[in-house]
């Protein structure tokens, strides 16, 4: 299975666009690590990398350091601290 938008924080709102992605991405390396590691911890997964030239090295770096999937409690905490939302209007 291919996973896309693994570092999506949500749709762009009133914030100025600072990346070439159509969604607002996670920017802190620790958040990118957590998101990529959570996805890589699923069975039979292929992560599609971010198309932004600033984000791509961060995603690849996170993938190269994968050891384990973070616990759901860490992911839930990140959802709140980063104010992540669904890209498609679905409940997060």
Percentage of the chain surpassing pLDDT 90? 40
**Whole-number pLDDT of residue 71:** 94
92 pLDDT more than 60: no
**Whole-number pLDDT of residue 19:** 86
**Whole-number pLDDT of residue 90:** 60
Cβ–Cβ < 8 Å for 84, 10: yes
What is the tens place of the pLDDT at every residue in 7-49? 888 888 777 888 888 888 999 999 999 999 999 999 888 777 6
89 pLDDT more than 80: no
Kindly give, in sequence order, each residue whose CB lies less than 8 Å from that of residue 20, ignoring residues fewer than 6 positions away.
Answer: 51, 52, 53
Q: What average pLDDT does the structure give for the chain? A: 86
What is the tens place of the pLDDT at every residue in 53-64? 888 899 999 999
Q: Which of 75, 48, 45 lies closest to 59, judged by CA?
A: 48
**Whole-number pLDDT of residue 14:** 74
């Amino acid at each position: 299975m291919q996973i896309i938008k693994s570092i999506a924080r949500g749709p762009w709102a009133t914030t100025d666009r600072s990346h070439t992605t159509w969604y607002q991405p996670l920017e802190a390396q620790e958040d990118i690590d957590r998101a990529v590691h959570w996805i890589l911890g699923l069975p039979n997964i292929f992560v599609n990398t971010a198309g932004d030239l600033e984000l791509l090295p961060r995603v690849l770096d996170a993938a190269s350091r994968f050891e384990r999937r973070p616990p759901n409690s860490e992911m839930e905490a990140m959802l709140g601290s980063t104010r992540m939302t669904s890209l498609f209007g679905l409940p997060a």
